Structure 1
Amino acid sequence: MSVSLESPSVPTQSEAATVVRRVRQRVRRRHLLVLLGVGALWLGVFAARVLLGDFTVTIADFFRILFGADIPVATFEVMESKLPRAVAGTLAGLAFGASGAVFQSMLRNPLASPDVIGVTMGSSAAAVVAMTAFGLDGDALGLAAILGGLLVAGAVLFLSGSKGVATYRMILVGVGLAAALQAVVQWVFTTTDVYKAQDALVWLTGSLNSVTWTEILRMALTVAILFPLIATLAPRLQMLELGDDAAQGLGVRATPTRAWLMGAVVVMAAITTSVVGPIAFVSLLAGPIARRLNGGRPSIPVAGLVGAALVVAADYVGAYLLGTTNMPVGVITGVAGAPFLLWLLIGSNRTIKDG
């Protein structure tokens, strides 16, 4: 009885290249479809925010107003309330969503968003002190928010001692710093003028109610400059997820790349925070949602669009779907984000080990 000892076939180099090419095409196709789908979702909630609500506007009238027509009541509603809030919500969502995705990928931790680590609180505390104690606004307020965010980001990295690797220690350090800064904010509220404190408290909740076109322009310039820079560095960001040693082996200088990325996202989040306040949990929610939609792969553009859709949708809910009270957008995102944070904490307890 003869036995065949044929060895299993080994794919040739061309066959392996074909398989790799097909996988890459499939990944790109899924990413494109997800990007288009999330973009369509954002466009839908943007249109609803601008056209619907207590005062509805037709699509034809909207474009007439946009090109200079003066329609009584409708022009004021669109240009002074509906459109500014929709545009500001879009820009804020892009900034916060991209910032959260960068932190989570760069530090390899789904909890490592700017608001959880305390970077957003650093910007908020600096801005509140600048607003109430020194009466600053505009560019000066934005500069104060940037300095506060950068100081907290540097302090978290230094005190955690984790050399750029995300650990529970880094999360705890960030939470501790955020608690200390929250105490500073409360102290400011008890010592400043009651009217200044009220204005700062509304801003600290996260609100699009009183945003102006000048502030929107400042956010738009920030996002237009920094968002493409962050998206360009996204391939290096994926390599950082493999660890510093693996990234170095693939030709990516881990420390400078991390410094550029962290600096860019902190500046973008800080300037956005100085305009609309620290809108809660958007940076925490957008990254994991985008990753889940994209088959487990990070995507800065998808995360930004998810953040934009979340903020605009939350602003619509707060303005029209909760009775006569116009709820700040930060309240709505906070209510939606708290259960998500608990879910992440439970899941992370099984997968993330302290380094």
Structure 2
Amino acid sequence: MANTRGSAQLPSAAPTSVDTVRGVRPAVRVGRISAVLRIGAVLTVVALAATLFGLFALDIAVGEFRIPLGRVLDVLGGGGTRAQRFVIMDSRLPRALTAIVVGAALGLAGAVTQSILHNPLASPDLLGITSGASCGAVAVLVGMGGVGTGTAAALGVSAAALAGGLLTAVLIYLLAWGRTATGDSGVMEFRLVLIGIGVNAALLSVVSWLLTRATLTDAAHAQQWLTGSLNAADWSSLVPAAIGLGVALLVTAGSARTLVALRFGTDTTRILGVRIQTQQAILLAAAVGCAALATAAVGPLGFVGLAAPQIARRLLRTPGEPVVASALVGAIAVVGADLLARTVFPVSLPVGVVTAAVGGPFLLYLLVRTNRKATL
């Protein structure tokens, strides 16, 4: 009787240990580092990488002299004829690799800035970073007669673009400094976005003024660069952008946990032991340098840094902007835009025209979505 009464008191729907574990994602541990394994996200990243490789091979194969995809892979592996190796290795490969590096750099920079500022509209091109890099590069292009050609020219333009982007970022950062709602001194995120938009407009006016002061030849050269074109991409312009992307990836990987913590509110981030202002400055410097060198390589490509993190976030269904996936989506966007610009239209268009044409409607979509969230 007592046993029967005791059995009746046991909850019939109590979860077992197996049921509890079943809803927990598996974890991967390497030494002191551990992470939750999300199978869906991993498969999505693999699919993005496969898509990027397919577009990369197709971008090399398509042109005035068409080469079968199988032959492209053979040449990349060391085979093929001398003519095929010349077309692929000396002409098309630097262009395709530059598209990948520039797109990945802009996607990574956009993911970092949007994560830190908690704003889907925060990107290097809207915050004035790209305009600052453009201003520095155009000043060199029109002020020194184009600075010649080759590696020295590429390094000169890259250094000027990097300096312009960094100086612009420092100016915006200082102007956005103030007293936050909690009474602490620091960067006010919403204020930084507004100041960045204003600085962006001012720098675009400076670029236009520089073009009016240049000779006809230098102005034409600078104007072609300002449209964002891969036509002049070569190994000398690829190397600085690749170095910038590599450094930004290392900094972001080393600050992965900090970047995740910065996505929370100020109080939560401080409780987690993160030095907010220092970490913000380090990550923003990496993003700015990466975006500036990418801009120096091919000119300003609008909306790539804005759209790539938001597309990656929706594909992976993550609460924040995923850095690796954003870089892959950015690379896919630039390579795909280059492919469309050379094959779909009657005349070959600069890749920046295609990214702007696609990114403009996406910006309107984000504005409408943000406005709806604010009014709910």
Q: Does the pair score TM above 0.5?
A: yes
Separation in structure 1 between the aligned mates of residue 284 and residue 12 of structure 2, nearest angstrom: 49
Give the count of matched residue pairs: 348
* Corresponding position of 1:139: 155
Q: What do you get for the CA RMSD once the two structures are aligned?
A: 2.7
Structure 1 residue 229: Cα displacement = 2.4
* Corresponding position of 2:183: none
2:340 maps to which of 317, 320, 325: 317
Separation in structure 2 between the aligned mates of residue 154 and residue 6 of structure 1, nearest angstrom: 65
Structure 1 residue 224: Cα displacement = 2.4
Structure of greater Rg:
2
User: Which gives a bigger RCO, structure 1 or 2 (Cα 8 Å, sep 6+)?
Assistant: 1
Unaligned stretches of 5+ residues in structure 1: none
Say which is worse superposed, 151-160 or 193-202, in terms of deviation. Answer: 151-160
* Corresponding position of 1:335: 357
Say which is worse superposed, 103-112 or 152-161, in terms of deviation. Answer: 152-161
Deviations 1:218-258 (A, max 9, x none): 22222223223213323221111112221121122222211
Structure 1 residue 22: Cα displacement = 5.1
Q: Alignment partner of 2:189: what SS?
A: coil
1:232 maps to which of 231, 254, 260: 254
Mapping of residues 190-269 of structure 1, within 5 Å: 190-269=212-291
Q: 1:352 to 1:241 in 2, by over 3 A?
A: farther
The amino acid across from 2:108 in the alignment is A
Structure 1 residue 12: Cα displacement = 9.2
Say which is worse superposed, 132-141 or 21-30, in terms of deviation. Answer: 21-30
2:325 maps to which of 290, 297, 302: 302
Mapping of residues 31-70 of structure 1, within 5 Å: 31-66=41-76, 67=78, 69-70=80-81
Mapping of residues 6-21 of structure 1, within 5 Å: 19-21=23-25
Say which is worse superposed, 343-352 or 280-289, in terms of deviation. Answer: 343-352
Unaligned stretches of 5+ residues in structure 2: 1-7, 29-34, 148-152, 181-185
Separation in structure 1 between the aligned mates of residue 291 and residue 12 of structure 2, nearest angstrom: 55
* Corresponding position of 1:78: 88
- Contact 1:107–1:164 (8 Å) recurs in 2: no
- Contact 1:231–1:300 (8 Å) recurs in 2: no
The amino acid across from 1:309 in the alignment is I
* Corresponding position of 2:107: 97
- Contact 2:176–2:188 (8 Å) recurs in 1: no
Q: 1:21 to 1:58 in 2, by over 3 A?
A: closer
- Contact 1:114–1:120 (8 Å) recurs in 2: yes
The amino acid across from 2:82 in the alignment is I
Q: 1:350 to 1:63 in 2, by over 3 A?
A: closer
Separation in structure 2 between the aligned mates of residue 316 and residue 151 of structure 1, nearest angstrom: 34
Structure 1 residue 53: Cα displacement = 3.6
Separation in structure 2 between the aligned mates of residue 270 and residue 213 of structure 1, nearest angstrom: 18
